[in-house]
Amino acid sequence: MEGDPSKKDEVEQTEKSSSGEASGEASESEAPQSNIDEQIKELQEKIKEIKEKIAALANDNSEAAQQQRKALEIQLLELTTQLLSLMNEKT
């Protein structure tokens, strides 16, 4: 008889965790979509800021400005790649 109660407890625990996982999965499927949307917004804002910085340096022909523009253009390229990746993941 000692085995029966312990098996009953195991079954109850399994049922509880199964039902908990099912409800967790439903909320998790919604969360990643909004998380992706949030990341897309953040990347778009960063891209806009970098474009503004590049534009501000447009008339500066100094060596420092050229190096800064180059660094910003690399960042812009990386962020754009990340943005495209997230947009593909979203669809």
Distance of alpha carbon 68 from the chain centroid = 27
User: Which regions in the chain score pLDDT beneath 50?
Assistant: 2, 6-28
Q: Give SS3 for 20.
A: helix
Q: Which residue has the tokens 């109850």?
A: 12
Q: Identify the pLDDT of residue 15.
A: 43
Question: Is the entire prediction scored with pTM above 0.85?
Answer: no
**Residue 35 to residues 3, 25, 51, 59, 89, Cα–Cα distance (Å):** 46, 15, 24, 38, 12
pLDDT value at position 81? 97
Given the structure tokens 């909004």, which residue do they identify? Answer: 34
Q: Who contacts 49 (Cβ-Cβ below 8 Å, separation ≥6)?
A: none
* Nearest-angstrom CA–CA distance, 39 and 90: 11
Give the start-to-end residue ranges of the domains of the chain: 3-90
pLDDT of res. 33: 76
Q: Enter the tokens of residue 29.
A: 């499927």
3-class SS of residue 72: helix
pLDDT in tens, 27-50: 445 566 789 999 999 999 999 999
